[in-house]
Chain A
Amino acid sequence: KAGVTQTPRYLIKTRGQQVTLSCSPISGHRSVSWYQQTPGQGLQFLFEYFSETQRNKGNFPGRFSGRQFSNSRSEMNVSTLELGDSALYLCASSSGSNEQFFGPGTRLTVL
């Protein structure tokens, strides 16, 4: 069974730009969660989608948004990028049992 895939793996953007990250969950998994990992703050929950609906949201500004498609694939968007948005963005999928399986992440660098 294929694992969680994320694209792109690496991204370099400049301040003020926007970025879209993509995540394909494990086949059959309908829940997709997004996390931000930084050296200073560790892993922090961004939001979770299930059946195209956002069910839970972390404490991030509105510049961070996401969506989920009918095939469970999910995208995350960050608008008006700031230097502090440089991080590893991780996607995790779940069948709904609270076990979450992570992808390799997208490393975003904001210059």
Chain B
Amino acid sequence: QKEVEQDPGPLSVPEGAIVSLNCTYSNSAFQYFMWYRQYSRKGPELLMYTYSSGNKEDGRFTAQVDKSSKYISLFIRDSQPSDSATYLCALSGGFQKLVFGTGTRLLVSP
């Protein structure tokens, strides 16, 4: 069993939809939670960073962490075609080592 599980998709939604992306994990030592967006043939771009249970909002993005359930989510409101990319969750127990999910490919159609 992988430490971090993420549905690879693809997830196809129409423009304007609310998107929900999720990861589950098994290691309770993870304390830091990140979401990255990666466009084709580019490096990952940090979208959200949090280290506690609860919600964190930044513009159209909301990150949610439930440590008791070992479940993290990223919500995208009013999705745009430019949001089409692969979204990766990344978790860390500290010491700079990130453990990534496989990534979910998102397609937003106009």
Chain A residues proximal to chain B, CB less than 8 Å: 4, 31, 33, 35, 42-45, 48, 50, 55-56, 58, 90, 92, 94, 98-105, 107
Contacts of B43 in A (CB 8 A): 4, 90, 102-105
CB distance from B49 to the nearest CB of A (A): 5
Contacts of B90 in A (CB 8 A): 43, 100
Q: What is the CA–CA distance of A31 and B100 in the complex, to the nearest angstrom? A: 19
Q: Is the CB of B44 within 8 A of A55?
A: no
Map CB proximity to A onto B33-67 as digits: 1 under 8 Å, 0 otherwise: 01010000111111001010000000000000000
Given A31-B96, A56-B95, decide whether A100 and B46 contact each other with a Cβ distance below 8 A: yes
CB distance from A88 to the nearest CB of B (A): 8
Q: Is the CB of A98 within 8 A of B45?
A: no
Q: What is the CA–CA distance of A43 and B97 in the complex, to the nearest angstrom? A: 11
CB distance from B48 to the nearest CB of A (A): 10
Q: Is the CB of A33 within 8 A of B97?
A: yes
Map CB proximity to A onto B67-110 as digits: 1 under 8 Å, 0 otherwise: 00000000000000000000010101011111111110000000
Map CB proximity to A onto B13-42 as digits: 1 under 8 Å, 0 otherwise: 000000000000000000010101000011
Q: Is the CB of A55 within 8 A of B34?
A: no
Q: What is the CA–CA distance of A44 and B92 in the complex, to the nearest angstrom? A: 13
Contacts of B97 in A (CB 8 A): 33, 45, 48, 56, 58
CB distance from B93 to the nearest CB of A (A): 9
Q: What is the CA–CA distance of A42 and B65 in the complex, to the nearest angstrom? A: 23
Q: Quick one: which of A100, A102, A103, A104 has the most chain B CB within 10 A? A: A100
Contacts of B95 in A (CB 8 A): 48, 55-56
Q: Is the CB of B102 within 8 A of A45?
A: no
